[in-house]
Structure 1
Amino acid sequence: MLKHYILMLVILILTIPIGALGSDITVEAIGMGEIVASSVYWGTNPSAPSTAQPGDVNAPLSIVLSNIGDDLARNINATLFIGPPLSYTYYRDGKEYSAIAISKMAGDMEARSSFTLTYTVDVDPLASEGIYRYDLRISYRSARELQQVEKTIIIDVPIWIGDLRIQNVVTSPTKLYPANKQVEIKVQIVNSGQASAKDLQLRLDLKEPFRPSSSDSDRHYVGSLPPGQVSESGFIVDIDDDAKFGKYALVMAIDSENGLIPIDEVQIYLNEKVKFDIVSLTPTTLSPGDSGRVIRVELRNTGAVKAESVRVQLRVGNFFSGTLTDFLGTILAGETKVAFFTIDVDSDTPEREYNFDLRTDWTQDDNSLDDTLRLSFDVKPAEASLTPIFFGVAIIGAIAYYFIRKRKSKKVKP
C-alpha cells in the first residue's frame, strides 16, 4: 500500500510544470482612497484667482480636494473651522446666525480626480494683511473595506491689502492763485500692494481755502484697481478769494461706508496774487440827468509783485452809461495809479444808493488774472446853483443904477 502512495506522489510531481515551481504567487492588494487639499484660492476661477481684503462681504473661498489614492473614496465631507478675521453668517427663519464651522459635501471621488468646494465668508474691515491658518477636517470612507477615515489638515488663507499711493499730480491751470475757479486737479493713483482695490471711490478732503466747484466734484469713482495698475482721478475745485499764498496739503482718502480712510496727500502751492485797494473815489454823488461826469478812482497795488497790462472796467447797471474802461499799463508793487471814467445818468434814475463792480484785469507771470472791487454812489437831486441868481441880481442892480444916474443927470441941467 505504501508503495502505491509513493508512486502516485511521484506521478503528481512529474505532472506539475517546471516553470510553476520557480514562479512567485501574486496576491492582489486592496486599494485605498486618500483625500488631500491640493489648492486654496479666492474666487471661483482657478485660472484667474482674485484676492480678499479687509471689509469684503460674501467673499468666495475655494478649496480643491484631490484623491491621490488608487481607489474610490465615498461620502467625502470637509469642515472648515474659521476664526478672526474671517466670519460666516447665515439666515434661518428670518434670523441671522453665525458659525465657526462650515461643512461641505464632495460626494464620491474616483482615484486621481478633484473636486472644488466653495465657502462664502466675510473679512473683518480691521483685518491686518497677512496669511492666516485654519483647520480643515476631512472625512470619507474607503470603497472596498468601507473603513471610515478622518483627518485634519491646515490650510493657508492669504488676506492682502491694496496699497494706494499718489504717483503724480497735475493742475489746470498750472499756476494757481487765490480766487481761481473751476481748477482741475488730476491725480494719478498707483496700487503698489498685492491685492486689488475693489469698488474704490476716492475723495479729495477739501479744507479752507478750497471747496468743491459743484456737488460731488471732490469725488471720483475708480471701481477696481488691480495690483501694479495706475488710475487717473479728476477733481474740480474753487479757491477762496482771500486765500493766503503758500503750500497746502490736501488729504486724498478712500470714501468707504466706515468713513474716510486717508491714503496720501496732494501738495498744492498757491502763488501770491496782486491785490488792489481803492485809495479814493471822487465824486461819490451823482444826479439824475448828469452827462459826462468824470469819475476818478485811485488804485494802489498792495501786493509784493507787479501787475502788467492792467485794465479797469466800471460795470454799471440800468440808467447809467458812458466811457467805462481805462487802461493803466504796469503797476508796480506799492504803486498807485488813477483811472478815469465818464458817466451819464438817465434823468429818470431813482434816487438811492447804487453799488457797482470795479473789475480789474491784468497779467502776472504770463497768467491772466482778475479781481473785483465794489464802488458805491448816491444818486440825489442836483442842488440849485446860486450863480444865476447873483448874476440876475447884478444885472438888475446895474440897470437900476443906470436909471438913477440918468435921472440925477437931468435934474442938474440949467
Structure 2
Amino acid sequence: MTPTAGYADVVRDADGAVRITAAPVPSGPELPSPAPDFAQTVLDVAGAVLAWPLMEAGGPPSARIHDPGRAQQWLWAVYGERVAAAVHDLTAADGPSRVPVAAGALAGAAARLGLGHWALRWWPASGIDAIAALAPDLLGLEVAALTHHCHQLFDDGADQPDDCAAELIEEHEAGLDPLIRWWRTGIGPTGAADRVADVLRLLDDAADSAGLDGPGPRHLRAQLERNHQVDAHLDLGALFARPGGYALAAGRRPDPGGRTIARGTGANDWHRYPPGLLDSAETAVSWAAHALGARREIEVEALAHPAAPTAAVPLAAEVRVDGRRPLRVPLVRGADSWGGRAELELADGAGPVRIEVGVLLPGFDPGPDDPAGTAARAARDAVRELARRRLSAAAGPVPSDGSAHHTPGTPFLAETVAAATDEDY
C-alpha cells in the first residue's frame, strides 16, 4: 500500500477552475506568504499549473486545474487515486473536500522537474556570496531528460511551455559533447558516471521521439552504441569551463575626481530584472555621490553575473533622493560590471539626505516587491542558503540506483560539477 503523504483540500473556484491546496511538508526555513516568485517552483502541465514552495519541494504540490479532463492523465500518478477521484467528482455545488494524498510514481519526478526549471531561472549565482554558477548547457540537458522522463504530465496542447524537451536539447546542444566525454571517462564523484549514462539515454530517446536529426543527436546515438571509456585524464573543470570569471566586489573603482560626499549599497531585487544579468548578492549594487564643483553626480555600479550578455541590454539604475520621483540612470556593460553616472539634485546645507538605489530592466520591472525590503531580503537569504546546502550535498557521492529522477533533493549534474570545481570561490 502506498503511504499517505499528508492531505489536500480540493475545491472549485468561482471561475470554474479546480484548486488542490496541499498541506506543506516543512523541510527548511519559513518564507513570507505568499512566497515570492523566486521562492517557488512552478510547472505548466496538461490542464493545470503545479506549484511547490521551494523550501518544501519534497511535499505534494498545489495545483490550479483549468481542464480536469486533461489533468486526469497525471493526477493519480502525482496525488494518488483518491485525489484524482475527488477532482473527477467535484461539482460547482460542492464545498471543499479534504482528501488524503498518496504520492504516486510521478510525484518525486514532477517535483524534481519543477526544481530544475527553477534552477534554470533563479539559481542565485554570486561571486560575492561564494555560490558557484551552474553550467547552463549541462543543466538544460538534464532538465530536457527529466521532461522526457515525465512525459505523462504533458499532452499535445500548446499551453504547456515546460513541455520542451526537444527545444531544450536544441538550445543546449553545445553541452552534449562534454556530457558524452564525462560519461566515457568515468571521472567525477562515485556514482556520477551511472547518472550521466542515464541522462544520455533519456536524451537519446527524447531526440528520437521528437525526430531531431542534427549533428549533436547523431553523435550521441553513435557514442551510446560504442559504449566504452577513453580519455581518462580529463577533469570536470576542463569539460565544463565557466563562462567568464567573477570580480571580488563591486564599487572599488577609483573616484573619477571631485569629492565623494556619500556612498552606499543599493537594493538588489531579483524581481526587477531577468535572471542572468547581475550577481545575486545583496551587496552587488553599489553607489557613490560626488561633488564636482557646484555639480552633484551619482555613480552606480552593479556586479555582472558571470554569464551576463556583453551585447547592449537597457539595464538601468533607479535613484531616489528622500523619496522623491526616481531618476533613471542607464547602465552600460563593462568587463565584469554594469555602470552609469548621472547628475543628481542635492540641496546644499540641507543636512543628511536618504539615497536609495535599485537596478531594473524597463519593461520587465513589476515594481518593488516589498517596499520595506525586509520580507523580500529574508526570502532571498533563504534561497541562498538552500543553494549552499545543495552545493555542499553535491560534493559527496552521487546516487546511482536509478532513484535520482524521483528525488528532488538529489543534486543535479550541474551542481555536482559546480561543487567539484569551486576552487575560485
- TM-score normalised by structure 2 residue count: 0.26
Larger CA Rg, structure 1 vs 2:
1
Q: Larger % of strand: which?
A: 1
Structure holding more helix per residue: 2
Larger relative contact order (Cα-Cα within 8 Å, sequence gap ≥ 6): 2
TM-score normalised to the size of structure 1?
0.26
